[in-house]
């Protein structure tokens, strides 16, 4: 084709993307003309199949539609014009978030969070949240991770060296690009540093309104993955990449406000923990096992929740205790908050935040009792009458599917569909035979 006859296509300056969260927290979407995304909260048609795909695009059996599984139609998708931001380190490609509406709103992860926040609002409470994500960078690409055994993958850095200034200076160009990317995307960071583990970086997203915080979190994860590929690397937010290394967390900082005041703070009570905060944490602990699958949604998630890896093993709380599932961070009224440490980096931010807040609101409604705080390593203690956390995705999914509290907070249609998706995920992985099993059993059995 000659230059004269080559079609010019769409002006890149007019191009934008729309993205909507599936159950796994993956942004699915497409390019559109920018004016189609920025001109008010328009409703467009989008394939409902993304709510019935697993993470490898296989159709899972779900009851959300009466149509045959091979006959997915279009759903109503609301484009959220106020969410537009630049998502590329180079150029000005803009992404606009969207959410399912109409018949599919009850299944939409963002819609589930809005429902939970509305329940909090009925008690006169508004929520502020901030996510912390650990992710691992490898000097590999999509081809080499398929072709090479994991033992030969090369991480960005070798071995653990948490909070290393030397490594941060040595990789200041990469850190600078991440900071610029986040600034362009209106995702301000309050911290960025190397964490324990080879090639592990932790980013702390600045706190804000809860729904906006989840929006920022899901965009951040997608941006980091895309940015890494432009640098000839791969980024992963897996909860546990190797049994030799600590897991990767997705901790969530939460505070609640009422009439402009921090509802979690009372200077006259122990460590400033107000009655509402006490009830809120009591609810989080009471329903942690039932709701666990929302914060630990994958087969791999449960390999992080083991002793000695800076992750909880039971519903527990403590004052500034990082071994607990809920860590109270005492501070002045402007910063007094809790840290929900159950969540891994592999979360769907909308659903993990729904889990943390929804269980807390139940605690306020039920005047939930708060057990004694844990002093020392929570993994060495019997922490809660409900016992330890679920040990597998299968156990967590069963508890969620049978939970009347989950149905009350999240809706029966969502509980049924999400439980179905997690059972499918469990079955997709549990029958796989691993290299470790072959090494362990091949000769001796």
Quick one: pLDDT band at residue 385, thresholds 50, 70, 90?
low
With CA atoms as reference, report the closest residue to 218 among 354, 337, 124: 354
d(CA 284, CA 341): 11
d(CA 436, CA 63): 36
Residue partners of 109: CB distance under 8 A and separation at least 6: 21, 22, 23, 25, 348, 350, 351, 354
Tokens for 298, please give them: 């994958």
Whether residue 51 is predicted with pLDDT greater than 70 in this model: the reply is yes
- At residue 401, the pLDDT reads 97
Show me where the domains of the chain are located.
12-104, 117-441
CB 282 within 8 A of CB 290: no
d(CA 69, CA 49): 9
* CATH T-level fold of 12-104: Ubiquitin-like (UB roll) (3.10.20)
DSSP class of 106: G
d(CA 168, CA 176): 10
The CATH number assigned to the domain with range 117-441 reads 3.30.590.10
Whether residue 8 is predicted with pLDDT greater than 50 in this model: the reply is no
296-350 tens-digit pLDDT = 999 999 999 998 888 999 999 999 999 999 999 999 999 999 999 999 999 999 9
DSSP class of 146: H
Kindly tell me the burial class for residue 144, based on how many C-beta atoms sit within 10 Å of its own C-beta (0-12, 13-18, 19 or more).
middle
70-82 tens-digit pLDDT = 567 889 999 999 9
Q: Which residues pair with 255 in a beta bridge?
A: 128
Residue partners of 86: CB distance under 8 A and separation at least 6: 92, 93, 94, 95, 184, 185
CB 230 within 8 A of CB 160: no
d(CA 288, CA 294): 10
pTM: 0.93
- Which has more pLDDT, 65 or 313? 313
d(CA 255, CA 276): 11
> Would the CATH topology of 12-104 be identical to that of 117-441?
no
């Amino acid at each position: 084709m000659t230059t004269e006859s080559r079609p010019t296509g769409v002006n890149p300056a007019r191009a934008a993307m729309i993205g909507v969260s599936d159950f796994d927290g993956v942004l699915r979407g497409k390019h559109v003309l920018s004016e189609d995304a920025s001109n008010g909260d328009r409703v467009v048609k989008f394939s409902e199949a993304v709510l019935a795909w697993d993470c490898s695009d296989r159709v899972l059996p779900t009851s959300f539609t009466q149509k045959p599984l091979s006959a997915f139609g279009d759903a109503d998708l609301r484009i959220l014009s106020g969410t537009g931001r630049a998502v590329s380190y180079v150029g000005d490609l803009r992404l606009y978030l969207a959410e399912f509406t109409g018949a599919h709103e009850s299944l939409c992860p963002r819609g589930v969070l809005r429902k939970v926040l509305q329940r909090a609002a009925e008690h006169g409470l508004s929520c502020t949240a901030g996510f912390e994500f650990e992710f691992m960078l490898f000097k590999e690409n999509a081809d080499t991770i398929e072709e090479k055994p994991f033992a030969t993958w090369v991480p960005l850095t070798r071995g653990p060296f948490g909070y290393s200034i030397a490594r941060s200076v040595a990789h200041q160009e990469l850190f600078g690009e991440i900071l610029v990317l986040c600034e362009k995307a209106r995702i301000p960071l309050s911290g960025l540093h190397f964490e324990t583990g080879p090639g592990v970086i932790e980013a702390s997203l600045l706190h804000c309104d809860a729904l906006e915080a989840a929006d920022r979190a899901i965009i951040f994860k997608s941006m980091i993955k895309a940015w890494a590929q432009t640098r000839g690397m791969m980024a992963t937010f897996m909860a546990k990449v190797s049994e030799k290394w600590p897991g990767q967390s997705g901790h969530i900082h939460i505070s609640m406000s009422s009439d402009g005041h921090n509802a979690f703070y009372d200077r006259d009570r122990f460590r400033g923990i107000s009655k509402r905060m006490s009830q809120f944490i009591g609810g989080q602990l009471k329903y942690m096992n039932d709701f666990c699958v929302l914060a630990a949604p994958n087969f791999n998630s449960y390999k992080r929740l083991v002793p000695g890896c800076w992750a909880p093993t039971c519903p527990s709380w403590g004052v500034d205790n990082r071994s607990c599932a809920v860590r109270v961070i005492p501070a002045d009224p402007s910063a007094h908050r809790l840290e929900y440490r159950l969540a891994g980096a592999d979360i769907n931010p909308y659903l993990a935040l729904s889990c943390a807040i929804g269980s807390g609101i139940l605690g306020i409604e039920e005047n939930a009792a708060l057990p004694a705080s844990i002093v020392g390593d929570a993994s060495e203690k019997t922490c809660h009458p409900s016992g330890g956390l679920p040990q597998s995705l299968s156990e967590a999914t069963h508890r969620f599917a049978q939970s009347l509290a989950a149905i009350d907070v999240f809706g029966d249609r969502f509980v049924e569909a999400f439980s179905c998706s997690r059972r499918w995920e469990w079955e997709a992985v549990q029958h796989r035979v691993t290299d470790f099993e072959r090494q362990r059993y091949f000769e001796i059995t």
